């Protein structure tokens, strides 16, 4: 198949602007349309002829970097068009997260020095918790080391403030992509797609090409599902403990057959396994198809997720032993670091990607492509 397309600029000269480079490649893809049956990105591309900056931001965040389009494309290097759409969209996607984050500059700092910053923050906060735990305690279980009031005073702001920052970023995103008033139908469509991680299978159910190049695999989708559902279970465990404490006046520690443990233990296991699996898959994947210059931040984020899950399991296994204090400090340090870095790490991608799925559902509904 040949492609008859006239470009406004020399296709052999790549733009240093991630949005402009993504636009150049998307215009070629829109003329070719060989990948039209792939993930949600390509049907979305075919709905337009001209792509504003907001359109590029939306398409970039709709992309899940499954890489199937790259291995199916006949215009990759050494062709003069030199297409690498997964990398171009990844660069535009990272650029959007960094532009929308507040305060400006923190997201780029983490993405380029993620491993060192995550490790420093975990150790620093762990030392803080260890110092607090050295003070006389007044409770049982973990509360013998750190009182309930101190935990609430530390973690409530650390949870609420990053969410507020995320809301600022989402508002900026929604304005740039031209989002409409959200309906329940939009949310349902996005939630089903996110829950199944449909786009991590290339949209066709055969798997993606992340780590096996021209061979299909569902491993990345399964690892992402393990991380996502593991995190949600851990969050549900914390929420159930809060309800038991404040609504039913049931004080921790809780037994194994309680909601916090029945939700938290499987959640920690899934989070640990999923994070380890994602790190292994990244070692097999071609770095030239990922986000340029952001590898440290992505690995640091995965390590942080896995550390939070694994340290929680070890803490539960070592309860009432001499290891409880040190493990509690490390676990709380990891969780606090994860919360504080949410708006600036790849943790933010979950919020933006869900927003992109909602916007795509609106686009399908308003243009009659449901």
pLDDT of residue 346: 83
Q: Are 294 and 112 in contact (CB under 8 A)?
A: yes
Give the pLDDT confidence score for residue 247 in this predicted structure.
86
Tokens in use for 182? 């959200």
**By mean pLDDT, which of 14-28, 38-52, 142-156 is the weakest?**
142-156
CB 189 within 8 A of CB 356: no
Residues 260 and 27: their CA atoms lie apart, in Å, by 50
Each residue's pLDDT tens digit, 47-85 = 888 899 999 999 999 998 888 889 889 999 999 999 999
- Helix, strand or coil, per DSSP, at residue 208: strand
Cα dihedral 220, 226, 227, 233, rounded to 10, equals 160
Quote the percentage of the chain above a pLDDT of 70: 86
* Global confidence as pTM: 0.84
Q: What is the pLDDT of residue 154?
A: 80
Q: Are 165 and 339 in contact (CB under 8 A)?
A: no
* 32-38 contacts, C-beta under 8 A, 24 or more apart: 32/1, 32/3, 32/5, 32/75, 34/1, 34/72, 34/73, 34/74, 35/68, 35/69, 35/72, 35/73, 37/203, 37/204, 38/68, 38/69, 38/72, 38/202, 38/203, 38/204
User: pLDDT tens across 294-345, in order?
Assistant: 777 788 889 889 999 999 999 888 877 778 778 888 888 888 888 888 888 8
- For tokens 């740039």, what's the residue? 176
In angstroms, how far apart are the furthest CA atoms of the chain? 76
Give the C-alpha separation, 28 to 64, whole Å: 20
* Contact assessment for residue 55 and residue 48, using Cβ atoms and an 8 Å cutoff: yes
Run of H or E including 27? helix 18-32
What is the C-alpha separation between 223 and 230, in angstroms, rounded?
Answer: 10
End-to-end CA distance of the chain: 29
pLDDT at 19 over 70: yes
Residues contacting residue 261 through CB under 8 Å, at least 6 positions apart: 237, 254, 255, 316
Q: Report the alpha-carbon distance of residue 211 to residue 363 in Å, rounded.
A: 31
Range with the poorest average pLDDT among 6-10, 134-138, 212-216, 277-281: 6-10
What pLDDT is recorded for position 129?
Answer: 67
């Amino acid at each position: 198949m040949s492609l008859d397309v006239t470009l406004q600029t020399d296709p052999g000269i790549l733009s240093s602007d991630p949005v402009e480079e993504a636009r150049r490649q998307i215009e070629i893809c829109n003329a070719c349309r060989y990948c039209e049956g792939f993930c949600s990105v390509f049907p979305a591309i075919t709905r337009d002829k001209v792509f504003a900056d907001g359109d590029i931001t939306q398409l970039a965040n709709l992309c899940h970097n499954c890489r199937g389009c790259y291995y199916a494309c006949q215009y990759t290097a050494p062709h003069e068009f030199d297409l690498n759409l997964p990398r171009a969209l990844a660069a535009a996607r990272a650029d959007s997260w960094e532009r929308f984050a507040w305060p400006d500059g923190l997201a780029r700092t983490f993405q380029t020095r993620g491993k060192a910053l995550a490790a420093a923050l975990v150790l620093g906060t762990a030392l803080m918790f260890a110092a607090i735990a050295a003070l006389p305690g007044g409770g049982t279980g973990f509360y013998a080391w750190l009182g309930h009031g101190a935990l609430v005073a530390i973690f409530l702001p650390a949870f609420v403030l990053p969410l507020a920052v995320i809301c600022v970023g989402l508002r900026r995103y929604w304005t740039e992509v031209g989002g409409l008033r959200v309906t329940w139908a939009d949310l349902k469509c996005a939630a089903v797609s996110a829950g199944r991680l449909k786009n991590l299978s290339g949209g066709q159910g055969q798997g993606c090409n992340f780590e096996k190049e021209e061979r299909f695999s569902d491993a990345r989708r399964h690892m992402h599902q393990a991380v996502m559902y593991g995190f949600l279970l851990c969050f549900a465990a914390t929420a159930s403990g809060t309800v038991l404490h404040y609504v039913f006046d049931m004080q921790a520690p809780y037994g194994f057959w309680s909601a916090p443990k029945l939700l938290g233990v499987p959640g920690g296991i899934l989070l640990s396994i999923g994070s380890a699996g994602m790190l292994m898959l990244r070692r097999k994947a071609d770095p030239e198809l990922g986000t340029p210059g952001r590898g440290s931040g992505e690995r640091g984020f995965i390590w942080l997720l896995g550390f939070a899950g694994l340290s929680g399991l070890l803490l539960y296994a070592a309860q009432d032993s001499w290891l409880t204090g040190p493990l509690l400090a490390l676990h709380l340090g990891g969780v606090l670091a994860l919360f504080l870095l949410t708006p600036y790490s790849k943790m933010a991608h979950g919020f933006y990607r869900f927003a992109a799925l909602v916007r795509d559902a609106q686009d399908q509904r308003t243009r009659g492509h449901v």
